[in-house]
Structure 1
Amino acid sequence: MKQSLSETHPHFHRVYFVVVFLLICLNLRMSFSAADPLLGMLEHDLHLNLKDSGIFAVLPVMVLGVASPLGARLVDYTRPRMLILYSMCLALAGILWRSYGGMAGLYGGMVLIGLGLGVTGSVILGVVKQVFPHRVAWMMSGYTACVCMGTAIGSASSEPVALWLGGWRSGLAFWGISLAVVTLLWLFLAKSRSDGSSAYHTLKAPVTPLLKNKTAWMVSLFYLFRVASAYLLTIWMSSLMRRRGMDAVDSGFVMAFATVCQIPAALFSVWLIRISGGKSQLMFWAIPLSVISCWGLLFGPLHWWPLFACVFGLGIGAVFSIGMSLIVERAADEASTVALSGMSQGIGFICGGLLAWLGSLCVDRQHGDLLIAGLYTVYSMAGLYFGIKAARPGLVSVNAVSPQTGKTATQNE
């Protein structure tokens, strides 16, 4: 039988997988972040009110929360790699609908994008677990760094691209190009059978058994408060900095700069973990530093904002990378990784997004900045508590060991 290129050159296949994986990660949030800077144009052309704008801002987080556990369900019917391919195609359709579908397309397209990219981001962690079981920390460092980079690229480039192309519709559609390219690149991997049977089998990845597992809950609650604290400042920091006297451009640049600073911390988090003595020790330093920098941004000398934003970004970047690593490392196998990813990201995005949105009840009150800083501190300290618990040794599995074979039934023929 004629062998494929991936079967005759396994090293090429693994390098190719890493490159395409990182490109997918780059696209996981880019089309979302590209929409936020164009909200003013959308409000003008589509006559959006404040309520509509608020729904538009929080909708991606909610949809990602629904999509993550959905991915764990769908791998029972469709091979993980093909599911990723279908999901990226769905996201592409959503980008086009959002761009040219009017008011219905604006929200419906965002839902399709969230479902497609949410399933992709959840299921691909299981594929990483199967291909690189002993390089999880490095792969998740790359995952986090590329997600942060994609977010920063989308936020910084969206408005200039829209102006260059003549409007927000073409500007939003533009971000489908990179996703289309990476979808074509993934097609080769979706059909590959060179690095494990799960490349061409479905998986049993039920989330329900994990609801009784303490470690799974610790990982999920850590993810929840990580999302809550991050989105809280992402949503409200620009408004709060304008109240301190910054203009609109500079206030928006604060979080953009913090996002860029997340990239090196995420990329080198493996070394930071080694230097600090472990994940728990790194969290013990990184999370309090992010809290201190938050208070510094809101109450410290205004001309010190680059220092505070840099420290904040470095702390958040390291914690993000740890959060993704824990999902994959605490899972016993590929199926368990998909299930744990679905549970933690589902709970994290939905509940964390709602906790972050509590800031809307505080920001317009007297001393709203103090209330936001207080909420951020509470969320961060809760995340530190559950993160240290989640970092303790232990594995999560959705499969019982068969007494006859000694193997776990993770795959369906």
Structure 2
Amino acid sequence: MSAPPVRPPILLLGVGLLLVAFNLRPALTTVGPLLTEIRAETGLGAAGAAILTTLPVLFLGLGSGVGPAISRRLGPDRGVLLAIAVVALGLGLRALGGLVPLFLGACVSAAGIGLAGGLLPGLVKRDFPGHVGLVTGLYTMTLCLGAAAGAGLTVPLLDALPGGWAAALAAWSVPAAVASLAWAPLALARPHFPAAPGVGSGIAGIGRHRLAWQVTGFMGLQSSLAYITFAWLPSVLRSRGLDAVDAGFIASLMSLGQAPSALLVPTLAARARDQRAHAVGLVALTVIAFLGLLFAPLGVVAPLAVGLGFGLGGMFGLGLTMIVLRARDSISAAALSALAQGVGYSIAALGPLGFGLAHEAGGWNWSALLFCTFALGAALCGLRAGRDRTISASA
């Protein structure tokens, strides 16, 4: 009888998970600060810019949706390895320059991000069952730091690297490749066994529960608010008179503001009886801060950006935490994650596209109204998804 495979140490698993998490947002936050330069060089119109900010969110949903199939075939650990390698590939494609590699790279890297994001909650439930809130907070905080790095460092990279915006965007493939190399030995050390009966129908099983769709609604609508901000905040600030460096700095501040709430909110929410107050409070903070960035004096944009980031980071961490808390076991967590992120990101894709089209039709006032509408929907879904209940993919 052969000895069972050695389980990687928990500390190494945690470090590997954080390295992966760091690379799950730069692909999404690096285009916004350079959108003016990209449009000037390529002739990309307003509708094309809106599509550029929308397609990656759709591919996030597609990546999340195939998570269960990838997990059954490769195992969740190797599925994450595949995902982060795809992210690195998509980011690297941008080095070719031009609109086709830009759009293709955005879609490929987003699919990898969606796949990883769909698999990670199940890994947390499996490997850290006694520390779900803390570990979810840590990897969400690290993800937000990656978003901040992408937003704040891409314009300096544009100035420092030959090759213009294509090289500045492609440079983010390097940390993704490093994460792939770090995660590979951890993933390959884990055995993969055939899926248990019923796993293949996990999404269908979890989808029978109304609560699953309420979690999905919250996840999708809060993501829509985040992707509107990632895609359009630099343009909003530049239209108000900031230059590219200052607008990128403020966007980076916003992303940095996500880090503390991404750590604190999951930890506190996991200890609470339910999460309804967390959801409503964070949505309200997000709306107030975003409207301030649109209309308040420029002298207060820095603290407003931090407040916006705190709200967005907290909502994202809360969404991931509710996925884990509402699921009865790791299989159910993986199924709920695939549903909430797969369908949720399809909902989220409407945000950046609608925001851009609303601006073209009626300026920032119409865009602000759309933002508030999505926020109201997120609050209503959060009131239902935050209740203290659990569901199973098999019952």
The aligned runs of 1:382-401 (5 Å cut-off) are 382-400=377-395
For residue 186 of structure 1, what is the aligned residue in structure 2?
183
Q: Which amino acid aligns with 1:394?
A: R
Is 2:157 aligned against 1:161?
Answer: yes
For residue 65 of structure 1, what is the aligned residue in structure 2?
61
For residue 146 of structure 2, what is the aligned residue in structure 1?
150
2:359 alignment partner, one of 348, 359, 363:
363
Q: Report the Cα distance in structure 1 between the residues aligned to 2:247 and 2:156, rounded to whole angstroms.
A: 18
Q: Report the Cα distance in structure 2 between the residues aligned to 1:3 and 1:275, rounded to whole angstroms.
A: 38
Q: For residue 255 of structure 1, report the CA deviation from its aligned partner.
A: 2.9
Q: Which SS does the other structure have where 1:76 is aligned?
A: helix
So what's the TM-score if we normalise by structure 1?
0.85
Q: Which runs of 5+ in 2 are unaligned?
A: none
Q: Report the Cα distance in structure 2 between the residues aligned to 1:239 and 1:177, rounded to whole angstroms.
A: 27
Q: Report the Cα distance in structure 2 between the residues aligned to 1:38 and 1:241, rounded to whole angstroms.
A: 13
Q: Which amino acid aligns with 2:186?
A: L
For residue 373 of structure 1, what is the aligned residue in structure 2?
368
Q: Which runs of 5+ in 1 are unaligned?
A: 401-413
After superposition, the Cα gap between the structure-2 partners of 1:237 and 1:49, relative to the gap in structure 1 and judged at 3 Å, is closer
Identity of aligned residues (%): 30
Q: Report the Cα distance in structure 2 between the residues aligned to 1:295 and 1:89, rounded to whole angstroms.
A: 38
Q: Which amino acid aligns with 1:188?
A: P
The question of whether the paired residues in 1 share the 8 Å contact of 2:256 and 2:309 is answered with: yes
Residue by residue over 1:134-170, the C-alpha shift from the partner in whole angstroms, topping out at 9 and shown as x without a partner, is 2111111112211111111112122322433311444
Is 2:122 aligned against 1:126?
Answer: yes
Q: Report the Cα distance in structure 2 between the residues aligned to 1:270 and 1:394, rounded to whole angstroms.
A: 17
Greater shift after overlay, 108-117 or 378-387? 108-117
After superposition, the Cα gap between the structure-2 partners of 1:107 and 1:297, relative to the gap in structure 1 and judged at 3 Å, is closer
Q: Report the Cα distance in structure 2 between the residues aligned to 1:288 and 1:231, rounded to whole angstroms.
A: 17
After superposition, the Cα gap between the structure-2 partners of 1:160 and 1:294, relative to the gap in structure 1 and judged at 3 Å, is closer
Is 2:68 aligned against 1:76?
Answer: no
Residue by residue over 1:173-226, the C-alpha shift from the partner in whole angstroms, topping out at 9 and shown as x without a partner, is 322221222112212221234xxx7x5444624322233211100100011110
Residue by residue over 1:86-135, the C-alpha shift from the partner in whole angstroms, topping out at 9 and shown as x without a partner, is 22223333233332275443322322222222111211221111111221
Q: Report the Cα distance in structure 2 between the residues aligned to 1:34 and 1:234, rounded to whole angstroms.
A: 9
Q: Report the Cα distance in structure 2 between the residues aligned to 1:103 and 1:297, rounded to whole angstroms.
A: 30
After superposition, the Cα gap between the structure-2 partners of 1:62 and 1:136, relative to the gap in structure 1 and judged at 3 Å, is same
Q: Report the Cα distance in structure 2 between the residues aligned to 1:348 and 1:55, rounded to whole angstroms.
A: 18
Q: Which amino acid aligns with 1:370?
A: N
Is 2:299 aligned against 1:300?
Answer: no
1:54 alignment partner, one of 50, 55, 65:
50
For residue 37 of structure 1, what is the aligned residue in structure 2?
33
Residue by residue over 1:347-394, the C-alpha shift from the partner in whole angstroms, topping out at 9 and shown as x without a partner, is 22111221342122321345x333333222222222112112111122
The aligned runs of 1:174-323 (5 Å cut-off) are 174-193=171-190, 199-202=192-195, 204-206=199-201, 207-270=203-266, 272-273=268-269, 279-323=275-319
Q: Report the Cα distance in structure 2 between the residues aligned to 1:172 and 1:360, rounded to whole angstroms.
A: 22
The question of whether the paired residues in 2 share the 8 Å contact of 1:162 and 1:170 is answered with: yes
The aligned runs of 1:88-107 (5 Å cut-off) are 88-100=84-96, 102-107=98-103
The question of whether the paired residues in 1 share the 8 Å contact of 2:280 and 2:382 is answered with: no
Q: Which SS does the other structure have where 1:106 is aligned?
A: helix
After superposition, the Cα gap between the structure-2 partners of 1:267 and 1:62, relative to the gap in structure 1 and judged at 3 Å, is same
Residue by residue over 1:300-344, the C-alpha shift from the partner in whole angstroms, topping out at 9 and shown as x without a partner, is 333222232222222222221111111122122222222111111
After superposition, the Cα gap between the structure-2 partners of 1:177 and 1:304, relative to the gap in structure 1 and judged at 3 Å, is closer
Q: Report the Cα distance in structure 2 between the residues aligned to 1:64 and 1:34, rounded to whole angstroms.
A: 16
For residue 405 of structure 1, what is the aligned residue in structure 2?
none
For residue 21 of structure 1, what is the aligned residue in structure 2?
17
Q: Which amino acid aligns with 1:90?
A: V
Q: Which amino acid aligns with 1:192?
A: A
Q: Report the Cα distance in structure 1 between the residues aligned to 2:346 and 2:270, rounded to whole angstroms.
A: 32
Q: Report the Cα distance in structure 1 between the residues aligned to 2:239 and 2:176, rounded to whole angstroms.
A: 37
The question of whether the paired residues in 1 share the 8 Å contact of 2:151 and 2:255 is answered with: no
Q: For residue 271 of structure 1, report the CA deviation from its aligned partner.
A: 5.4
Q: Which amino acid aligns with 1:324?
A: L
Q: Which amino acid aligns with 1:75?
A: S
Q: Which amino acid aligns with 1:174?
A: A
Q: Report the Cα distance in structure 1 between the residues aligned to 2:235 and 2:110, rounded to whole angstroms.
A: 26
The question of whether the paired residues in 2 share the 8 Å contact of 1:75 and 1:205 is answered with: no
Residue by residue over 1:217-245, the C-alpha shift from the partner in whole angstroms, topping out at 9 and shown as x without a partner, is 01000111101222233333334344444
For residue 82 of structure 2, what is the aligned residue in structure 1?
86
Q: For residue 297 of structure 1, report the CA deviation from its aligned partner.
A: 2.5
